[in-house]
Structure formats: structure tokens, C-alpha cells
Amino acid sequence: MNKFAIIGDSTCDLTGELRAKYNIEYARMSVTLGNDVDAKEIYADLDWPEISPKEYYDLMRNGTRMRTAQVTEQEFDRVFIPHLEKGEDVIYISCSSALSASVKLAIKLNNEKYSKKYPNARLIIVDSLISCIGQGMLCIEAAKLREEGKSVDEVSSWLEENKLTCNQVATLETLEYLKRAGRVKATKAFFGNLFGVKPMLISDAKGNNYAIEKQKGRRNGLLRTISMTKEVVINPENQIAYLVHSDANPEDVELVRSKLIDECHFKEVYIAPLGPIIGATTGPGTLAVFCFGKKVEVVSAE
């Protein structure tokens, strides 16, 4: 049985701790900070070596524009080729194809280059149909199956069959960043009156960010995050809930964390920063919960 690598990308939002624990790699996207005159491009590095999460989100609060870019061919070469050259298979668990063109480029490169140059190894590409640490959770589950001795085909089959059981529930300070980036689905009526309203965001069955409802005020948005999680989760006592945020108020984070334990009954809550790519498109103050549960069947309204 061939050894195989598990690789995500910058939208998987896995901390260095989690990547090391489960032996997961990722392909980096990039972010351009600022306007054309003083713009600075950096890798969307999940270890935040050039700028801290707080500094990053404070820049956004102060009006700095963040422009994101997909994984490049050179970056895919950097993470894929060392494994393929050794005859190792690779599973690439990508950001949702509804949100990023990275997966399309990976497919193109595999068809035109990798499969021909490295015939003794395979690159299997899984469109996660989600992003953020939900995508990362699929990477973790794949790593656990690999550790159990499952083959690359067994792991990729499990991912395809179960990826829509990963649920996202998020509350945003504003929908403006997603709207500006063109990465949100919502009815036209949704945008009518957003003053003081906190959008609730899920990932739908096609991998879109879907603004499914509004809540009046921050606290109501936080509490709705808990009730929506309770509606979709299955066997919370046997799993970890992942709570990510883009420099949200610590009191808000603690409120949601405690209720995930006390009301939803998760065995543990893992808290992590929202990564630079997802954070650039959802904006500061976003707070999201991810868990495994009911299969996502909702499709966003056009």
C-alpha cells in the first residue's frame, strides 16, 4: 500500500498544532494588503509570521482593503511534487469550488502535468464543498483514517460520501465584506435593511456561503449560532466543536464556547483564529462554529 500525503490549502484554517498532530500540509494562497500605491502581497500563512490576527483585522477595521488570490501553479508544485517524485499518492482536500478556483487549477495541472510526469503516483482531488476549519476537519478525519491503515481510495471515498455532514454556522458583524467579494448567496430582499442586523451564514449543499437569515443585534446572533448548531449536530458528546473567529470580542467567544459545552454537550471546543483568506472575505468580528451532523441539503436561493 502506497504511503499518501494529505494536503489542504490556506482556507482550511488548521493551526500549526493541528497540522503537526495529524501530519497535514497545505498549499498557500496569497493576500494583497492595501491599495495599488502601497499594496503589499503576503502569503496567506496559517502561522501568521508577518502579521498577527489582531493586527490584520485592525487594518480591515481601519479601511485597509484585502484582496485574496488562489493557489498558484508554483505553489501546487511546491507541495505536490516532493511526494509525487517519491511515488507517494496525494489527497488534496480543496476549498469549495464555489468559493475558489484553486481546485480547478489543481485538476488542470493533474491532467496536463502531474499524471503524465509521475505515472507511479496519484493525485486525488476532493472538492470539500466547504471552507474554513470545516475543510480542515475533513483533513483531520482523513488523517485519522490514514492512521488506522485505510488506503488512499478508502479515505477519498469516505470524504466524498461524508463531506456534506460537516456543518457551518456563523454570525457576522456585517455582510459587506462578503458582498464586496461576491462570495455570498442571499435573496435580493436580504440586502434591503441590514442596519443593526447580524447575518447568519451557513455553507450550502453546493459549497456556497449562504446568508440564510438575520438576527437583530450581536447577542441574538451569538445565541442563534448555538441553537442552529443544536439543530444540526449528531452525537456531540463524541466530537470536538471547532470555534473560529476574526478577532471577536473575548466575551463573545467565551459565551459561545461555554454554551457549546453546557447546552450542545460537545466533549471539547477547539478555538482558533479565522485564517487570512476567509477573514478577508467575512470581515472582523466573525464567529463561526463547525461540527459533524446532519447532511447539508439546503441550497441557497438565487
DSSP the chain: ---EEEEEEGGG---HHHHHHHT-EEE--EEEES-TTT-EEEE--TT-SSS-HHHHHHHHHTT--EEEEPPPHHHHHHHHHHHHHTT-EEEEEEPPTTT-SHHHHHHHHIIIIIHHH-TTS-EEEEE-S--HHHHHHHHHHHHHHHHTT--HHHHHHHHHHHGGGEEEEEE-S-SHHHHHHT--B--GGGGS--TTEEEEEEE-TTS-EEEEEEEESHHHHHHHHHHHHHHHBS-GGGSEEEEEESS--HHHHHHHHHHHHHTS--SEEEEEEPPHHHHHHH-TT-EEEEEEBSPP------
Residues of the chain under the 70 pLDDT cut: 1-2, 181-195, 302
Determine the Cα–Cα distance for residues 187 and 208; give it in Å rounded to an integer: 13
Residue 179: its pLDDT value, please?
74
What pLDDT digit, counting tens, does each position of 67-121 carry? 999 999 999 999 999 999 999 999 999 999 999 999 999 999 999 999 999 999 9
What pLDDT digit, counting tens, does each position of 135-155 carry? 999 999 999 999 999 999 999
Average pLDDT, the chain: 93
Instruction: At 53, give phi and psi (nearest 5°).
Output: -55, -45
Residue 178: its pLDDT value, please?
74
Residue 194: its pLDDT value, please?
59
Residue 71: its pLDDT value, please?
98
> Residue 202: how many CB atoms within 10 A of its CB?
22
Residue 123: its pLDDT value, please?
98
Residue 108: its pLDDT value, please?
98
Q: How far apart are the first and last CA of the chain?
A: 45
